[in-house]
Structures are given as C-alpha cells and as structure tokens.
Structure 1
Amino acid sequence: MSILKWYAGGQDRAEQAISILTELVADLNHSQQKKPLQQVLSDYIEALKRKESAVPFILSRMNLDISSALKNNQFVLTASESDKLDALMALANIRYGY
C-alpha cells in the first residue's frame, strides 16, 4: 500500500480504497459476528468499481455507513482491522491547496 500525495485524484484514491477494503473483507471473513460490517465493505468495493458517482462522495458515504455499522453492532476490532479502517477513512480527507 503506497502513500497517496495530498493532491491525488479520485482514481488513485479508489484503487487504494479497493485494496484496503479487499484486505479488510478477508480479515473479517473469519468472524460471523462482523458479517454486517463485511457486507457494508463489500457494497463499497462494488460502488467504487462501478463509479456511478464521484469517488470523494462514495468515500464520504462509506465512512458514514462504516461508522453506523460499528455503532449499531458494537464490534470490537483487532488492532490490524482498526489500522486498516483508519487508513481507509483517511482517504476521504482531501486537502485542496488553498
């Protein structure tokens, strides 16, 4: 996983997000309790591949849905899963050089 530049475009962010999401889905595959979160992540892999709307908008919606899934189901994440979610949510932070 490479570090994105602050000015990285939507395509670069989408590719990185898909990579992280795929890893997370694989990590969560062993836990039946975390199936709702796994489903949310899988849905956003498909949304990013289809590109029906702008990548920053998809990432923003994804962050809200992940937060809702975590809150509603009260999951306990491993350190690795938590780090990957942090990296995933950071992709939505776009700095516009103003």
Structure 2
Amino acid sequence: MTAQTYPHKSGDFTIIGPECFTDESASVIAYKGENYYPQRQVKIAEELDALPVGSVVRDSLKRVFERWQLAGWQSAGPTLTSEIRLPATVLDSPRVAQ
C-alpha cells in the first residue's frame, strides 16, 4: 500500500489530510463529518450593520458582542458598552436564506 501525500486533488476536492478536505472555493473545510468556515473580518460599520440578529463578534479590544432583535449590539461580558471597535472578527452568524 502506498502512503498518501497531502494535499492532493481528488475530483473537485482537495484532500488536506485523513478525513479532511475542502472544495475548490476553499470556503469550507470538512473534517470528520463537521464543516468549518473561516472567520471573517468586519472592517466598516456598514458590514457590521448587515450582520443578522444572533451574530456574535469580537472587536479589536477583544470584547465580545451579540446582536439582539430590539436592543441592537450588546456586550456579552461585564463591559457596559455597545460601541464596537473595528475591525471585528465574526465569531458566529446565523445563515440567512437568500
């Protein structure tokens, strides 16, 4: 049996390692049956405003915020502020049907 070398192509997929692969867009990595998406950066207020309710971000000061339906962005910790310092990393965002 020949040892596999990684990464290598297999049809429309790139095999990164045992039980780990991605498609040509590299927008998702599948590992042991779970899908992982890269974290994206929000750099301007308009991108922040476009995130759906339920999104969670970590701002440049490492504070975590969640977007609520009526209250807008709220700190998820002891910080009593709703001011998010950009850039921010999107930690979680519900998928919205388009």
Q: Please say whether Structure 1 and Structure 2 have the same fold, judged by a TM-score greater than 0.5.
A: no
- TM-score, normalised by the number of residues in structure 1: 0.24
Q: Which has the higher contact order (CA 8 A, sep 6+)?
A: 1
Greater C-alpha radius of gyration = 2
Query: Which structure is higher in strand share?
Result: 2
Q: Which has the higher helix share?
A: 1
